[in-house]
Amino acid sequence: QVQLVESGGGSVQSGGSLRLSCAASGYAYSSNCMAWFRQAPGRDREGVAVIDRDGSTSYADSMKGRFSISRDNAKNTVYLQMNGLKPEDTAMYYCAADPAVYRNGGDYYRKSCPGVRDPFTYWGQGTQVTVSS
């Protein structure tokens, strides 16, 4: 059973920083693509950042330069460092994982990680981030 548990959310003033953590268990963490998404009240969920198994990253355009995703495979943890927070960053932030494999006959093969606009397979319960002006 895959489990993703987020932490590190809270309330911060505009311009402040937070670091979110996501602890993973129940599967081969290092072989999975990891990502952060967020959902603000009344809005659709949007992708924030994706990190591949080799540490390569991709971001939603609006997050570039302010947010940074990283992973520590020894700790089975993925992080989201958020700097220069704005009130519009207020949302529930979710950690997600995807094995990104396909099956051919009896074997499984890796494929590219989903992008920030693509669905992921496993989800955490979320951690709330509130930014006040």
Low-confidence winner among 33-37, 47-51, 110-114 (lowest mean pLDDT): 110-114
Higher pLDDT, 59 or 63: 59
Whether 1 shows a pLDDT value over 80: the answer reads: no
Name the one residue in this structure whose structure tokens are 């920030």: 116
Q: What is the mean pLDDT of the segment spanning 71-76?
A: 92
pLDDT score, position 26 = 82
Whether 29 shows a pLDDT value over 90: the answer reads: no
Whether 41 shows a pLDDT value over 80: the answer reads: yes
Whether 105 shows a pLDDT value over 80: the answer reads: yes
- The CA-based angle 91-97-102, given to 5 degrees, is 140
In contact, 89 and 20? CB cutoff 8 Å: no
Rounded CA-CA distance 52/112 in Å is 8
Residues 6+ apart with CB under 8 A from 69: 34, 35, 36, 48, 49, 50, 51, 57, 59, 78, 79, 80, 81
